[in-house]
Chains A and B, each alone.
Chain A
Amino acid sequence: ETGVTQTPRHLVMGMTNKKSLKCEQHLGHNAMYWYKQSAKKPLELMFVYSLEERVENNSVPSRFSPECPNSSHLFLHLHTLQPEDSALYLCASSQVLGKNEKLFFGSGTQLSVL
């Protein structure tokens, strides 16, 4: 069983659809993150949760809505996305929310917005 599991692996959606990305970590970590990876660009931090409380919203458009019901699960709800939102969305976790904590990543959801 991998440490951080993301579903689905691939998602194609229209601009008017509503979908959700799911992340689950089996490591007992207290912090979870959403990153966006676009081609040839640095990973962009989107959201950070610590002990189920959102502590960072990195200027992300409201069409992305995160949810962290417990310390093991993280969702990213998507609605009325744009084609430029097509990217690999990576979930990560760390033991605690700290400056030198190493991150454990899932395999990501490859999202295509048509």
Chain B
Amino acid sequence: AQKVTQAQTEISVVEKEDVTLDCVYETRDTTYYLFWYKQPPSGELVFLIRRNSFDEQNEISGRYSWNFQKSTSSFNFTITASQVVDSAVYFCALSEATGGFKTIFGAGTRLFVKA
């Protein structure tokens, strides 16, 4: 069965610190997709990244980077030089090829970045 675990409920950092948000997933499929979404205080979740299970190449987008490791079933998200505007709830999500169209979300990690 699908499952996404975000063990960190809340993280608090000071501006300019680097921070890593952990995501561990469970799936029996060989084909699946992983996502990260950001939920700012306004409420709407915003898509950040999508990876498929056959592409383990790490990705960097500005201050954001993602580390996908199938061996440990993890898809961690790092923000470099954090800023106050990064304060939000971040969700990791999983979609299985044989699970139909369901996107299963983790419980989210609330990130506080203090000035």
The residues of A with any CB-CB pair to B shorter than 8 Å are 2, 4, 31, 40-43, 45, 48, 50, 55-56, 58, 88, 90, 92, 97-108, 110
Contact = CB atoms under 8 A, between A and B. Distances in A.
B49 to A, nearest CB: 9
B45 A97 contact: no
Contacts of A99: 33, 95-97, 99-101
| Residue of A45, A55, A110 contacting most chain B CB atoms (<10 Å) | A45
A43 B9 CA distance: 14
Contact of A105 (B46, B100, B108): B46
B107 A103 contact: no
A58 B46 CA distance: 23
B103 interface: yes
B103 to A, nearest CB: 6
A31 to B, nearest CB: 7
B101 A31 contact: yes
B93 to A, nearest CB: 8
A106 B45 CA distance: 7
Given A40-B9, A42-B4, A98-B101, A103 B47 contact: yes
B23 to A, nearest CB: 12
Given A99-B33, A99-B96, A100-B52, A108 B104 contact: no
B46 to A, nearest CB: 7
B106 A55 contact: no
Contacts of A101: 101
